Amino acid sequence: MIIKNVSLETVCGITSKLPETDKPEIAFAGKSNVGKSSLINGLMNRKALARTSSSPGKTQTINFYNINDQMYLVDLPGYGYAKVSKSEQEKWGKMIERYLHGSKQLKAVFLLIDIRHDPSANDRMMYDWINHQGFRPIIIATKLDKIKRSQLQKQVKLIRTGLGMPAQAPVLPYSALTKQGREEIWEYMEQFINE
Ligand code: GDP
């Protein structure tokens, strides 16, 4: 996709009403610090529209980015954020559930996993949960530049096994530093948008 214009159109807090959009939506989930904001900025060709973990005042919200008036990229709140209490996390769980369950335009959910690490219990829970909501999560393995090329297959296998993924399901490696993997991710997104 050629990015012509992007804007952060809607920001939903915990009690916000979720928007009913009229364009396809693609959502991104992952634990805090996995590189979700960096990926979203990279996909949109923006340096800092999505706020990264290190930016002060980053709060838990669901953000809807309008891309070219063609689609929405939906940034779900990162889980496992140390500063957020358990009860707050549970509220967000309900909010995300409401979104995954309620959106009429949601076409696909991408789940981000750090390529260096075994999926955590939270990652597995999120993976199972997305499946349970009727979506087949597409896995993006982030921070590709942090491993040696020779480790790639092994790390991808760890993610597959850790999540219990079916054999054919894709794992898309991505580096926010080099943008390697960006085109493949857009190709997947476009397939869902055009479905
Ligand atoms: P978020 O909390 O999931 O939105 O994660 P961020 O996008 O804020 O990234 C967390 C940290 O990891 C930041 O310091 C980023 O600069 C760094 N980071 C994110 N993606 C990559 C990547 O692909 N490569 C490297 N080397 N660092 C990354």
If you write DSSP's letter for every residue of 115-183 in order, what string do you get?
Answer: TTSPPPHHHHHHHHHHHHTT--PEEEEE-GGGS-GGGHHHHHHHHHHHHT--TT--EEE--TTT-TTHH
The number of helices, as runs of H, and strands, as runs of E, in the chain is 5, 7
CA of 38 to the centre of ligand 1 (A): 6
- Report the C-alpha gap between 56 and 59 in whole angstroms: 9
Say what the ipTM of the complex is: 0.99
Task: Domains for the chain: give ranges and CATH numbers.
Answer: 6-11+22-90+101-193 (3.40.50.300)
- What does the pLDDT look like over 138-194, one tens digit per residue? 999 999 999 999 999 999 999 999 999 998 899 999 999 999 999 999 999 999 999
**Ligand 1 pocket at CB < 6 A:** 30, 32-38, 52-54, 78, 142-143, 145-146, 175-177
Return all residues near 85 (Cβ < 8 A) that are at least 6 apart. Answer: none
Please check the confidence at residue 96 and state whether its pLDDT lies above 80. Answer: yes
- In this prediction, residue 82 carries a pLDDT of 72
**165 C-alpha to ligand 1 centroid (Å):** 24
Q: What percent of the chain has pLDDT over 90?
A: 77
| Residue 36 alpha carbon, nearest atom of ligand 1 | 3
- Determine the atom of ligand 1 nearest the C-alpha atom of 146: 26
pTM over 0.90: yes
Q: What separation in Å is there between the alpha carbon of 35 and the centre of ligand 1?
A: 4
Predicted pLDDT of residue 9: 96
